[in-house]
């Protein structure tokens, strides 16, 4: 049985073949995302991977709706696998916002599903770090969001030389649009053309713009001028105060493909331009209101950062650490009559917080030692019968090759210094 195209298998390192993804790298990335979000005071939330189809049909825009995995379930409900997290978040906030002080600062790492055309950096399933602030209209929130995005990439050792955040404004594009076309219904089609400007042939964009009554030259001149709006000025100043000015630039090529954005929008790209967007987001001040049929009106903004492009970028720049099994102690059971005592030692070491492994069934001593080396264990420990009776432990530091002979209790403290906080007291 083959896995479905566009889906991934995650294996522990070393991964078995080129197409396999590293479960260790995934864990490393998620860990950095989580810890950065927590440093910024964000709380973790989650929602269901399967939602009512109509959550997306009205709010996300045609492009994403065309990519939905959807079906009718056994209860005759039209359902869809979530292609993005923002509608779920807006639904959850609209339902329970009274329970939370504003602004709400939440993050999640959902797995998302989009039936995309196969292309580089685009799969049919990906994980996305989502961080959103709900209930704050001031551009200070936009700056905070952008700073979090930048710092989550810095936490993965990427620098201002590796990536840039391109800042833009839907509001600026809205003004541009309405000064030239009064037909609001066409605005979304217009944003879609701008969103694809850099990826599509000029002749295609030109023809599409002409059909809406715009000219490519006019659009290009507007992008070229890159005149920051008042709110963008505030955002730039705020980021400058944090020492993050080198990570951002105004770039009106960005408008975002999703329908619900209303204000500041942004996308992060690698500086060399080798990959598609690493992350994207912006303000969506009307979504919660629309989701709650007008009952809850809260401004909101956030971003999504995918794991696919990020992982490829980290790999290409040599920024992924070397992962191994990270075993602290490998217990050698050379005297099978001492297996119960060994199991007790193993339990004590694990309770003290160490990563401990051993051979589950009787195994030749040389094979056990080989396994300890394969797992890159820092220490081995084995129990021996003491000549005077009782049991003593012989531990070995595999880096310095030094050995210690001590009581079992002393060996536990020796092998787990500082790890004292037992998980199973």
Residues that bind ligand HAM (CB under 6 A): 84-86, 114, 116, 122-123, 126, 128, 130, 132, 258, 277-281, 302-304, 306, 308-309
Q: Which is nearer to ligand HAM, 145 or 381 (CB)?
A: 145
Q: Which is nearer to ligand HAM, 84 or 328 (CB)?
A: 84
Q: Which is nearer to ligand HAM, 145 or 349 (CB)?
A: 145
Q: Cβ of residue 257: shortest distance to ligand HAM, in angstroms?
A: 7
Q: Which is nearer to ligand HAM, 312 or 357 (CB)?
A: 312
Q: Cβ of residue 54: shortest distance to ligand HAM, in angstroms?
A: 17
Q: Cβ of residue 357: shortest distance to ligand HAM, in angstroms?
A: 35
Q: Cβ of residue 275: shortest distance to ligand HAM, in angstroms?
A: 9
Q: Which is nearer to ligand HAM, 305 or 383 (CB)?
A: 305
Pair of tokens at residue 268 = 């992060």
Pair of tokens at residue 340 = 């119960």
Q: Which is nearer to ligand HAM, 50 or 325 (CB)?
A: 50
Q: Cβ of residue 308: shortest distance to ligand HAM, in angstroms?
A: 4
Q: Which is nearer to ligand HAM, 251 or 357 (CB)?
A: 251
Q: Cβ of residue 238: shortest distance to ligand HAM, in angstroms?
A: 19
Q: Which is nearer to ligand HAM, 158 or 381 (CB)?
A: 158
Residue with nearest beta carbon to ligand HAM: 306
The rounded distance, in Å, linking the Cα atoms of 197 and 64 is 18
Q: Cβ of residue 268: shortest distance to ligand HAM, in angstroms?
A: 8
Q: Cβ of residue 299: shortest distance to ligand HAM, in angstroms?
A: 12
């Amino acid at each position: 049985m083959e896995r479905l195209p566009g889906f991934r298998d995650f294996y522990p390192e070393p991964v078995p073949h080129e197409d396999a993804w590293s479960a260790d790298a995934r864990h490393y990335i998620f860990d950095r995302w989580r810890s950065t979000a927590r440093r910024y005071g964000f709380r973790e939330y989650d929602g269901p991977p399967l939602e009512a189809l109509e959550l997306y049909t009205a709010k996300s825009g045609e492009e994403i709706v065309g990519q939905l995995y959807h079906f009718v379930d056994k209860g005759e409900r039209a359902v869809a696998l979530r292609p993005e997290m923002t509608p779920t978040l807006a639904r959850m906030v609209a339902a329970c916002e009274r329970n939370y002080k504003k602004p709400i600062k939440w993050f999640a790492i959902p797995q998302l599903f989009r039936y995309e055309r196969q292309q580089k950096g685009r799969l049919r399933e990906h994980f996305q770090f989502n961080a959103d602030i709900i209930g704050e209209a001031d551009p200070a929130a936009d700056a905070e969001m952008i700073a979090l995005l930048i710092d989550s990439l810095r936490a993965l050792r990427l620098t201002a030389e590796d990536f840039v955040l391109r800042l833009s404004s839907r509001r600026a594009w809205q003004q541009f649009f309405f000064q030239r076309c009064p037909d609001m219904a066409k605005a979304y089609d217009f944003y879609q053309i701008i969103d694809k400007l850099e990826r599509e042939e000029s002749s295609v964009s030109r023809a599409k713009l002409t059909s809406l009554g715009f000219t490519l030259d006019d659009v290009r001149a507007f992008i070229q001028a890159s005149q920051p709006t008042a709110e963008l000025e505030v955002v730039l100043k705020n980021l400058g105060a944090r020492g993050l000015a080198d990570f951002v630039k105004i770039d009106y090529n960005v408008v975002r493909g999703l329908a619900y954005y209303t204000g500041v929008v942004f996308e992060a790209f690698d500086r060399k331009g080798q990959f598609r967007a690493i992350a994207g987001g912006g303000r969506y001040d009307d979504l919660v209101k629309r989701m709650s049929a007008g009952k809850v009106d809260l401004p909101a903004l956030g971003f999504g950062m995918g794991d696919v492009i990020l992982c490829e970028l980290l790999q290409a720049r040599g920024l992924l650490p070397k992962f191994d099994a990270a075993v602290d102690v490998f217990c050698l059971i050379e005297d099978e009559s001492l297996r119960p005592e060994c199991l007790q030692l193993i339990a004590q070491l694990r309770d003290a917080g160490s990563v401990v492994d051993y051979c589950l069934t009787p195994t030749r001593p040389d094979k056990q030692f080989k396994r300890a080396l394969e797992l890159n264990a820092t220490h081995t420990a084995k129990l021996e019968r003491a000549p005077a009776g009782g049991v003593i432990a012989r531990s070995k530091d595999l880096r310095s090759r030094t050995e210690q002979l001590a009581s079992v209790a002393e060996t536990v403290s020796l092998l787990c210094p500082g790890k004292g906080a037992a998980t199973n007291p």
